[in-house]
Amino acid sequence: MVEPLTLRHMVETITAKRAYSNKYKIQRYGSGDAYTNLLVVNFFGPAGARASAYCCNMNIDMDAEPQAYGPFGDPKITPIEKLSNGGWLDTATNAAKKKAYDDAVKIFDDLGKKKADLIAKSKPSGDPTKPAPAPPDPKAMADLDKEIEKAKQAMKDAAVFWDDDPAKRPVNFGKIFWHWYGPLPLTPAEARARSFDEKVGEEIVNGKTVPKMVHRKPVLDDKKPYLEDVNGRFPVIQSIYEPGTGYYVSAFPQRVNTAFPDWDQRSYLPPNSTAQVPYAALSLVLEDATNVPGRPNLPGLRLNDIVLGMRLDGGQSLTFPFLDHGYKPKVGECSMEAFTALGGQLAANVNASDNRFLVLFLAFPQSAGQSADSMLTKFAAAANADDFPVMLAFVAQATLDAKNDRTKSSPREVDGDPVTNFQRWKASQVTRSPGVLPSTFAVVDQALSNAGYSPFTQRLLKRHPNLLGGGPWLTRP
C-alpha cells in the first residue's frame, strides 16, 4: 500500500548518493563488453522513496526462454543460445583446465616436500658422535613459505570449486571444472526423487467424467557423459506438455508460476503462457548497493522489484521486473522481450543483435507488484522534484559522453561523475554564467512524464500557466 502523500512530505527533498559496495567503497559496474566504470546513483525521496539509476546499452539474457538451450545433433532442435553460455565446457577445454589444476597441485606438493626435507635435515640424528646439523636458513625458509602460499593460491584458483574442507567439495571435484547455470540441472538421484501428477484432460471412468492425470518425472539428458557437470548434474529435457518440447528447461532463480514444479519450463512463465515476458537480470553486487555511509542498512533491490527503462534515442519506455540473477558487477542484462519492446531488432544470431542504443534504467527497491507511477509519485512530492529529471539526465549524459581512445572493439570507459556534475550545474544557476542542461534532459523529462512523474510545480503550472510568467522551474519571489 502506498503511503498517502501529505504536506509533511512536501518539505522533504530528493538526495542523490553514489552506490557503494558493502565495504563502503564506490562500486563501479560494466555493461556487457561495451562499457566499464559505470556509476549507479541511488536516490532518496519523500515517504521512503528510493531508486537506483544507471545508463548503458541492453545486453540480452536468455535464461528461462523455452527454446534457449537444447541438445546437440537433433535437427528438430535449434537453440537460440550456445551451451557454452549456460556453463558447459567441451571435453578439450575441460581437459586443459584439469591439466592446469594437476600441474598446480604438483608444484604445491613438491614445495611442501622440499620444506619437509629441509626441516628433517635440520633435526639431530640422535647419534652423539655426529655434530648437530645447522638449522635452516631463516630467510630461505621465509622465501619458501611465500612460494608455498603462492602455489596454494594458484592451486585453489585452478580448482575453480575449491573448498578447504574436502567433504564440501563437489562430487566431480578435480575432474570437471564447470557447472550448469543456464539449463536447469539435476543429478539422477534428484530426478528419481521428484514427481508431479498433472491433469492433461478428462476421461470417462465407470460412466463418470474424471480428470485424466499423468504421473510425470524429470527426464535427464544423462546418456552423454560430456554433459555431466562438477556437481554430477545433467540438463532436464522438456516434456510434450511444455512449450519447448525436446529443449532443455531454462530456469530463473525463483519460479514465476508455482502451479508447476521447478523442473518444468512452465514454472518460469506466466500462467497459460508459452512465451517469456520482459524482464531484467539483477546483479548480486547491485542488490545491496543502496547501503551508503551515514544511512542505515536499508533493504536493497531484490528479485521481482521493478525497473523503468527509458531509451534515449527514441524515448520509448517500459516497466518490467527483475526475474533473474547476475553474478558479476554488471548492469543492463534484459530478456529478448524487453529488448524488442524498447525497439531493439533481433538478428538471426540473437547474440549478434545491434544493442548500441542507450537506455536509462531506474530501479525501485521494495517495489514488487507495484507500478512505476506509484513509485514516481513519491518522488514528485519532493520540494526539489523539478530537479529529479535533471539529476537523471546527468546520469544518462555520463554514459553518452564515454569515450574510447583505444580501439573500436574495446569497452568505453565512463569517467564522468553525474552527482558532481549535477551539483556544479545547480550551483551555477544562481551565477551570471549558468550551466546548460544535459543534452539528454528533454528525452528523460518526457519519458518520466509518460511514466507518471508529475511534480507539484508542474501540476500547478498546468492549472495556472500565467502564475510565474513561464519557465519550467518555480523560483522564490
One DSSP character per residue, 408-428 reads TTSPEE----HHHHHHHHHHH
State the pLDDT confidence band at 296, using cuts at 50, 70 and 90.
low
Report whether 238 contacts 245 (CB < 8 A).
yes
**Span 338-366, mean pLDDT?**
94
> Residue 398's pLDDT is what?
96
Q: Do residues 443 and 402 share a domain?
A: yes
C-alpha of 371 from chain center: 21
Is the pLDDT assigned to residue 467 strictly greater than 50? no
328 and 443 both lie in a single domain: yes
Whether residue 1 lies inside any domain: the answer is no
Q: Considering only CA atoms, give the Rg of the chain.
A: 29
Same domain? For 188 and 41 the reply is: no
Cα 282 to Cα 259: distance, rounded to the nearest angstrom? 25
Furthest C-alpha separation in the chain: 112
Nearest of 67, 68, 43 to residue 54 by alpha carbon: 43
Q: What is the pLDDT of residues 14-64, one digit of tens each?
A: 999 998 876 667 889 999 989 999 999 999 999 889 999 999 999 999 999
* Domain-located, residue 74: no
First to last CA, the chain: 38
Query: Is the pTM of the predicted complex or chain greater than 0.85?
Result: no
Taking the C-alpha atoms of residue 66 and residue 76, their distance in angstroms, rounded to an integer, is 14
CA distance 109 to 116: 10
Provide the pLDDT for residue 410.
Answer: 78
**What is the rounded average pLDDT of the residues 334-342?**
96
**Does residue 457 have a pLDDT over 60?**
no
The reported pLDDT for the residue numbered 247 is 98
- At 455, list the grid cell: 511534480
The number of distinct structural domains making up the chain is: 3
Q: How far apart are CA 276 and CA 298, in angstroms?
A: 31
pLDDT for the residue 172:
98
Whether residues 218 and 301 fall in one domain: no
Rounded Cα gap, residues 66 and 5, in angstroms? 43
Predicted confidence at residue 126, as pLDDT, reads 73
Residue 245: pLDDT over 60: yes
Domain that holds residue 59: 7-64+278-463
389 plus 438 within the same structural domain: yes
Residues 6+ apart with CB under 8 A from 435: 424, 425, 428, 429
Shared domain for 453 and 353, answered yes or no, is yes
Domain final residue pick, 168, 186, 213:
168
pLDDT digits (tens, 9 = 90+) for 67-116: 999 999 889 999 999 999 999 999 999 999 999 999 999 999 999 999 99
Q: Is residue 324 part of a domain?
A: yes
Compute the distance between CA of residue 70 and CA of residue 272 in angstroms, rounded to an integer: 23
**Torsion angle (degrees, nearest 10) of CA 356, 360, 365, 368:** -70
Nearest CA among 381, 354, 458, 401 for reference residue 59: 354
Among 131-140, 161-170, 176-185, 235-244, the range scoring the smallest mean pLDDT is 131-140
Residue 144 contacts by C-beta under 8 Å, 6 or more apart in sequence?
A: 111, 114, 115, 118
- pLDDT at position 205: 87
Query: Within a domain: residue 75?
Result: no
Set of cell numbers at residue 33? 563488453
Asked whether residue 292 carries a pLDDT value surpassing 70, the answer given is: no
Report yes or no on 396 lying in a domain.
yes
| pLDDT cut 70: percent of the chain above it | 90
**Residues 251 and 283 placed together within one structural domain of the fold:** no
d(CA 431, CA 359): 32
Domain boundary among the residues 233, 268, 303 is at: 268
Write out pLDDT tens, residues 162-189: 999 999 999 999 999 999 999 999 999 9
Asked if pLDDT for residue 271 goes beyond 50, the answer is yes
Strands 196-205 and 219-220, bridge-based pairing: unpaired
C-alpha closest to that of 458 among 339, 364, 344, 377 = 377
Helix, strand or coil, per DSSP, at residue 65? coil
Helix (H, G, I), strand (E, B) or coil at 432: coil
What local confidence, expressed as pLDDT, does residue 139 receive? 92
Which tens digits make up the pLDDT trace of 297-330?
Answer: 678 899 999 999 999 998 899 999 999 998 889 9
Same domain, 138 and 36: no
Q: What is the mean pLDDT of the chain?
A: 89
The last residue of one of the domains, among 268, 298, 316, is 268
As given in the structure block, the three cell numbers for residue 120 are 628433517
Tens of pLDDT, residue by residue over 363-401, are: 999 999 999 999 999 999 999 999 999 999 999 999 999
Helix, strand, coil percentages in the chain from 3-state DSSP, rounded to 5: 30, 20, 50
Whole-angstrom distance, CA of residue 384 vs CA of residue 457: 10
| Separation between Cα atoms, residue 133 and residue 124, nearest integer Å | 6
For residue 11, the SS3 value is coil
* pLDDT tops 90 at residue 2: no
314 & 451 share domain: yes
Length of the chain in residues, anyone? 477
Q: At residue 10, does pLDDT exceed 60?
A: no
Q: What is the pLDDT of residue 91?
A: 97
CA distance 477 to 468: 9
Segment 400-420, tens digit of pLDDT: 999 765 555 678 999 889 999
> Is 475 inside a domain boundary?
no
What does the pLDDT read at residue 456?
61
Cα 147 from chain centre: 37
277: left (phi over 0), alpha (psi -120 to 50) or beta: beta
User: Would 303 be classed as within a structural domain?
Assistant: yes
Same domain, 200 and 152: no
**Distance in angstroms (rounded) separating the CA atoms of residues 365 and 292:** 14
Residues 155 and 129 in one domain: yes
Q: How confident is the model at residue 216 (pLDDT cuts 50, 70, 90)?
A: very high
Q: Is residue 327 part of a domain?
A: yes
pLDDT of residue 130: 76
Q: Is 309 helix (H, G, I), strand (E, B) or coil?
A: strand
Answer yes or no: do 326 and 381 share one domain. yes
pLDDT(208) > 60: yes
At what angle are helices 388-400 and 418-428 packed, to 10 degrees?
Answer: 130
Percentage of the chain with pLDDT > 90? 73
